[in-house]
Each structure stands twice: as structure tokens, then as C-alpha cells.
Amino acid sequence: MLQIAVCDDDSSMIAIYEQTVRESLGRCGCTGKVVPYRDGRNLLCDITEDGFYFDLLLLDIEMPGATGMELAEKIRPFLPDVKIIFVTSHIEYAIDAFELSIFRYVPKAELEARLPGAVDAALKLLALEDGRTYTIQTSSRLEKIPYRKILYIEKEGKNARLVTEDGEAKVRKSLQQVLEELDAEEFIFTDRGCIVNLIHILQVKEGMAVLKNGMALPVSRSHLQSVKEEINRYWGEHL
């Protein structure tokens, strides 16, 4: 079950957010719990002090006490994978929202037109990231790695080295074998020695795939066009 928090100092706006989220959950076939907050400081306390976990946050930027921007910055270290949708009346916040890796930015003037689509996209991505694991089994250990945590996989001698958000793991198999075992469309070759998880690609520029964590991986000239096409197709279908 997805855990979703909505936060706004205006109770009428909270009601709109809650209704939008519940309708989106129904459309996406997901189950979720929606927790409302009138004060961002209470949300921050629940996350940083009481260990509350949320998959998605809908935050008003202009709130007394703690703005949405301040909340996002303080929450990120505790919930690095949380999807955040900002709602605001002031368009100048969009640049700052981008720098904070905010999933979507929705102007209040276009709330009815744009918020449902933003929530739908977030829920689809969360569903996509959830539940699948790659198993590495040897005589001495069994390790299950969630697909969503795999950044990329590279050839290292006779091994495939899986680089994840939490570290790395190696398996004595070819990249092609690992790709076939993953059997997931989000993993693609960017060159003959590297497979990248599309979920983590922020952009492709100057022959490099730039990941959300800032890491840049080379894309060979022979793969460049197909990589761009796969990214466009993948996100076009899923978002």
C-alpha cells in the first residue's frame, strides 16, 4: 500500500488534494493511504523524528512556519526516493523546484487541469519501481536487489558488476545473461560494456547518459540514437 501525504495550510485545498489522489489511485489500480497535514512542521517531525515513511508528498510551497521548499530540503535525507509534487501560486519557484529534484510543479491557477495528470504519473512510476528484485545466489550467500535500486550494470572481467544506490554486487555472468534474467524494458545497453536503468537517467547529452545522482556514463556512438529512442518510448508509455 502506498503512503501519501498532502500538506497545505488551507483545509479546502487539502480536500481537493485528497480527492484528486483517491481518484488517481482508482484509475491506476493502486491502493494507498492519504494522510493530511495542515502544518508542514508536523509532517517534518513525523518523518525526521518518528520515522514515518511516504512514497509521495503533495506540498503547498507558500505555508507559514515551514515552506514547501524548506520541507523538501529537510525531508530528502530521510526519504531520498520520495516523489514530491509542489503546488504554488508563484511561477518563480519552478527553478528552485527543479534543483530539489521535484517530480512535478503544478501552478494553482492550473490545478484542475494539471494536478490529476501529475499524480497519475507519480503513481505509475511508483508502481513501476515496486516489487521486482534480481537474485544473486552463490554457495555462500543469497542477495535480492530491487530493480529500482540498480543504477547500471557493467562488465568487469568475467563478471557483471551491478552498481546500486546502496553499493555494488558482482555475479559471474555476461551482461547479456543478466539482461535476459532481468527481463525488464527499463534496462538497456548504452554501449557494449554497460547496461543502464532508464528510471535513473536524467538526460542524455554530449554522448553521456547523466543519472539523477549526477553520475555520467558513456553512450557509444552506435547506441546513441537507439538510447534516445528507448528513453522517449519508455517514458511516453509509462508517464
Same domain, 113 and 31: yes
Number of domains in the chain: 2
**In the prediction, which pLDDT does 98 show?**
42
Give the domain-ending residue among 129, 147, 171: 129
The CATH number of the domain holding residue 9 is: 3.40.50.2300
pLDDT(213) > 90: no
CA 144/CA 175 separation, integer angstroms:
18
Strand pairing report for 208-211 and 216-218: antiparallel
**In the prediction, which pLDDT does 99 show?**
46
Same domain, 122 and 103: yes
Same domain, 15 and 112: yes
Helices (H), the chain: 11-28, 40-48, 68-75, 94-99, 111-129, 175-182, 221-238
Give the domain-ending residue among 89, 112, 129: 129
Global pTM reads 0.62
How sure is the predictor about 238, in pLDDT bands with cuts at 50, 70 and 90? low
Same domain, 12 and 116: yes
CA 219/CA 239 separation, integer angstroms:
24
Same domain, 11 and 109: yes
Q: Which of 122, 138, 151 is nearest to 211 (CA)?
A: 151
How sure is the predictor about 7, in pLDDT bands with cuts at 50, 70 and 90? very high
Strand partners, 204: 209
**In the prediction, which pLDDT does 131 show?**
66
Q: How far is residue 32 from each of residues 24, 66, 126, measured CA to CA in Å?
A: 10, 26, 11
How sure is the predictor about 94, in pLDDT bands with cuts at 50, 70 and 90? very low
Same domain, 122 and 36: yes
DSSP conformational letter for 91:
G
Helices (H), 152-220: 175-182
Residue-range definition of the domain harbouring residue 195: 138-238
